[in-house]
Chain A
Amino acid sequence: MASLFSIFIGMALINNFILSRFLGLCPFFGVSKKLGNAVSMGVAVTLVMFLASVVTWVIHDYILVPFEAEYMQIVIYILVIASLVQIVEMTIKRTNLSLYNSLGIYLPLITTNCAVLGVTLINTQETYSLVESMVSSIGGGVGFIIVLSIMSGIRERLDLADAPEAMKGLPIAFITAMLLSITFFGFGGIV
């Protein structure tokens, strides 16, 4: 139990996907100024991360390892993620149209989000069990949602801030990310 907790905290806060592992930076810098949209995006990513972790764990342990086909790992994992994104998109479209309308535009982009492929590769690298993989993917997703929400709030204020001409836009967003990243260093001592 203790190890599951430390995996969760480690993925969510200490080794946060965006601020310390540099995974999933594109949605971070492109994040919407509306908090609701940022959270929707985060939830969609977390959902795909969770499903991808489970499916790739089963494929890795029951197909790739017994048949000694681990060299196929990268191709198989990206195909699993691409198909999962399609399935999730179709399912949401059929069952909940209003959710689809708010999530819709983000879903296709998740395939090329490195955080999703990243979490499956980290799970394999760390030889996590099925339960550990689930916890690590949820932890990663929660960390992703937290940072995305913080950034969406700051983005709103950044537009009003009187930054030097050359710093406007992306550079000031990077500086903000730096300060957030230093803040998250503080979580280092938790576990």
Chain B
Amino acid sequence: MTRWRKDFLKGIIVSNPVFVLVLGLCPTLAISTSIDNALGMTMGVTIVLLGSNIIISAIRKIIPNSVRIPVFIVIIASFVTIVSLTFQAYFPDIYESLGIFLPLIVVNCIVLGRAEVFASKNSVFYSIADALGVAIGFMLALLIISFIRQLLGTGALTIFGNELFSLPGLVEHPLSIFIQAPGAFLVIALLMALFKHTGVIE
């Protein structure tokens, strides 16, 4: 059980996929414009990561080493198709706003990275811990970035249509650069520098 806990915890902060390993930057920066998108993306990545980690670790001994990457990609692509069709049917709003970044989970380095580094070498039991830890780490990073961008970019914090609070003054004149492309680069740069400075990450 201690090993399970260790494999689970390491993905959250010590090797956080976004801030420490700097993987999966494209979806992180592109969809962190609102908390809704961040949660939708996290859900998609979690399902794909968990599914692919389980399947790959279960069949790791019968995958020939020379064709392992194509096999991983096909397994991941199948799960992405399932997630994409499910979102389209049950969460059409999130499906629309995630756009091409939902199918692009296929080439997300986080998912393929876990398959190659962890799931192809460890048992199903530990691969589940690994997938859950990395998914939570990814969620934390997305939530922090999208919280800042949505708050400064729109002046209010809205989750699934409910406005939690708004900043007077900012609502009338939001700093809309934050929900546009440059804002994403600025927020992740400052967060990374902050985490480095305070010693949260190496």
Contacts and interface: CB of A to CB of B under 8 A. Distances in A.
Interface in A20-35: 20-26, 29
Contacts of B181: 19-20, 22, 181
Contacts of A125: 99-100
B107 A114 contact: yes
A51 B126 CA distance: 40
Contacts of A164: 193
B175 to A, nearest CB: 13
Interface stretch (B25-33, B134-142, B166-174): B25-33
Q: Which of B104, B107, B108, B189 has the most CB of A within 10 A?
A: B107
A73 B106 CA distance: 12
A166 B196 contact: yes
Contacts of B186: 174-175, 178
Given A171-B189, A171-B190, A181 B107 contact: no
Contact of B112 (A21, A23, A112, A173): A112
B85 interface: yes
A71 interface: yes
A2 interface: no
Nearest to A22: B30
Interface string B58-75: 000000000001100110
A6 interface: no
Interface residues of B, number: 40
A82 B185 CA distance: 30
A21 B188 contact: no
A164 B193 CA distance: 9
A104 interface: no
A78 B107 contact: yes
A68 to B, nearest CB: 14
Contacts, number: 110
A88 interface: no
Nearest to A117: B107
Given A19-B181, A175-B186, A178-B186, A74 B81 contact: yes
Main secondary structure of the interface of A (DSSP, over half): helix
Classify the interface of chain B: helix, strand, loop or mixed.
Answer: helix
B47 interface: no
Given A72-B81, A170-B192, A174-B192, A112 B22 contact: no
Nearest to A28: B25
B159 interface: no
Interface residues of A, number: 42
B131 interface: no
A177 B81 contact: no
Interface of A: 19-26, 29, 71-75, 78-79, 82, 111-114, 117-118, 121-122, 125, 164-167, 170-175, 177-179, 181-182, 185
Interface of B: 22, 25-27, 29-30, 69-70, 73-74, 77-78, 80-81, 84-85, 99-100, 103-104, 106-109, 112, 177, 181-186, 188-190, 192-194, 196-197
26 contacts: A22-B184, A23-B30, A25-B25, A71-B85, A72-B81, A74-B80, A74-B106, A75-B74, A78-B74, A79-B74, A114-B104, A117-B106, A117-B107, A121-B103, A125-B99, A165-B197, A166-B193, A167-B193, A170-B192, A172-B189, A173-B189, A174-B189, A175-B186, A175-B189, A177-B185, A178-B185
